[in-house]
Amino acid sequence: MKIKSDCIVSPEGFLLNPRSGESFSLNASAMDLFSLLKTEQTEESLLLYLQEMYDVDLPTLQADLSDFLFLLRYKELLDE
């Protein structure tokens, strides 16, 4: 999976879906994931990254990642 190439994001993490005109504010961890998703990723590779970066238990990381990816899919921001 990959973030759609036409998405526009400001340096502060304000994301625009250019097809709908919807805007989203990304927090620091979402910005990290967003940067990774500029190149092809899997759920496993993203989870591995989060495990290395954050001192949080695995079920919480999995749930947070799942929510984030659900939102990206729902808003049609992912290429899969």
Partner 1 sequence: MSRQLTIAVSGLNAIDNPGPGVSVLRSLRESSFKDARLVGLCYSPLEPGVYMKDLVDVCYEMPYPSEGADVLWNRLMYIHSKDPIDVIIPNFDSELHPYIKLQSRLRTELGIRLVIPTPEQFDMRQKSSLPELGEKAHIAVPSSKNYYSIDELLMEKEKMEYPLVVKGRYYEASIVYDKEQMYSAFHKISLSWGFPIIVQKYVSGTEYNLIGVGDGRGELLSAVSMRKMFITDKGKAWSGITIDDKPLMEVARRFVAATQWMGSFELELMKSNDGEYHLLEVNPRIPAWCYLATAAGQNIPELIVKMALEQEVLPYQSYQVGKLFIRYSWDMIVDYSDFGTFSVKSELSYDHEKVNAD
Q: Can you give the binding site for partner 1, defined by CB under 8 A?
A: 6, 8, 16, 18-22
Q: In angstroms, what is the minimal distance from the CB of 34 to partner 1? A: 16
How many Cβ atoms sit within 10 Å of the Cβ of residue 61?
19
Least Cβ distance, residue 43 to partner 1 (angstroms): 26
> What is the Cα–Cα distance from 16 to 70, expressed in whole angstroms?
17
Q: For the CA atoms of the chain, what is the radius of gyration? A: 12
Q: How far is the CB of 76 from partner 1 (least distance, A)?
A: 9
Nearer to partner 1, 8 or 53 (CB): 8
